[in-house]
């Protein structure tokens, strides 16, 4: 019988939820007061808490190599690896008229994904491939990369990341004809638990015309062509 989990309550259920790599919703779960503190206030608080973690682990925070680590980690969390949590950092997805009447598929492939598993706060890294069919508009190619990067820079599960990228492209292009394919390696699989270094995880979302098998296969064939 297939095992299912509702809202976890016990510590055992919480740990099992994490190992199942399940996500709670398509929207990143944020509190209503998530942005009441300034970035500097968050850095100060995280610095204090991370110093306590290091102290609990038995590390000597007076050592020259370690004493700056709590602040470095705090700044990295707020300003870099998790700056996609703040909607103020969302890139503007400017579009342009498709004056040359290009009507075939547009594919941006091998977009770098650098994200963090929200269950263990370990990285997962890989590639995203994004496609759309124009309905009178085109988007600057770098904007697709920036949108992928923005949604990657938050605690994530890969399934949610895939859907969020699809939503963003669909909204920017005003079209349902969108495809997203993500292939990544999860450090929570390779560094802990099963410690499998060879496996990767693939997620995909096909909408509109990309639900048709021929166009779907065309997209997959294109992203499999090695980049020079």
The sign one gets for the Cα dihedral 175, 176, 177, 178 is: positive
Q: Residues 108, 129, 156, 158: which is the catalytic one?
A: 158
Q: Residues 47, 108, 118, 156: which is the catalytic one?
A: 118
CA pair distance 132, 219, nearest whole angstrom: 10
Task: Examine the residue annotation and report whether 216 is marked as an active-site residue of this protein.
Answer: no
Task: Examine the residue annotation and report whether 117 is marked as an active-site residue of this protein.
Answer: yes
Q: Residues 47, 108, 117, 129: which is the catalytic one?
A: 117
CA pair distance 137, 139, nearest whole angstrom: 7
Q: Residues 108, 119, 129, 205: which is the catalytic one?
A: 119
Q: Residues 47, 108, 164, 186: which is the catalytic one?
A: 186
Q: Residues 47, 108, 188, 205: which is the catalytic one?
A: 188
Of 215, 226, 132, 217, the closest CA to residue 178 belongs to 132
Of 55, 50, 93, the closest CA to residue 75 belongs to 50
The answer to whether 104 touches 98, Cβ cutoff 8 Å, is no
Sole residue written with tokens 């699989």: 189
Task: Examine the residue annotation and report whether 205 is marked as an active-site residue of this protein.
Answer: no
Q: Residues 47, 120, 156, 205: which is the catalytic one?
A: 120
Task: Examine the residue annotation and report whether 118 is marked as an active-site residue of this protein.
Answer: yes
Q: Is 121 left (phi over 0), alpha (psi -120 to 50) or beta?
A: left
Measured at the CA of 183, the angle between CA 179 and CA 184, to 5 degrees, comes to 140
The sign one gets for the Cα dihedral 41, 42, 45, 48 is: negative
Q: Distances from the Cα of 220 to the Cαs of 129, 149, 159, 217, in angstroms?
A: 9, 22, 18, 5
Q: Which residues are catalytic?
A: 117-120, 158, 186, 188
């Amino acid at each position: 019988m297939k095992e299912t989990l509702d809202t976890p309550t016990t510590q055992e259920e919480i740990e099992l939820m994490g190992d199942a790599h399940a996500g709670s919703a398509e929207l990143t779960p944020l509190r209503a007061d998530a942005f009441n503190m300034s970035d500097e206030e968050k850095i100060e608080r995280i610095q204090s808490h991370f110093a306590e973690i290091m102290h609990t682990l038995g590390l000597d925070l007076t050592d020259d190599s370690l004493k700056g680590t709590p602040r470095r980690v705090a700044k990295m969390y707020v300003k870099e690896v998790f700056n996609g949590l703040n909607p103020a950092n969302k890139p503007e997805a400017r579009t342009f008229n498709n004056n040359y009447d290009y009507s075939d598929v547009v594919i941006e492939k091998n977009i770098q994904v650098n994200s963090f598993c929200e269950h263990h706060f370990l990285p997962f890294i890989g590639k995203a491939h994004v496609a759309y069919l124009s309905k009178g508009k085109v988007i600057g190619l770098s904007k697709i990369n920036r949108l992928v990067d923005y949604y990657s820079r938050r605690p994530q599960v890969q399934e949610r990341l895939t859907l969020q990228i699809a939503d963003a492209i669909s909204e920017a292009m005003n079209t349902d004809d969108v495809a997203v394919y993500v292939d990544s390696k999860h450090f929570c699989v390779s560094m802990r638990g099963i410690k499998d270094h060879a496996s990767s995880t693939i997620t995909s979302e096909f909408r509109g015309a990309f639900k048709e098998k021929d166009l779907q296969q065309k997209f997959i064939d294109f992203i499999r062509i090695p980049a020079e």
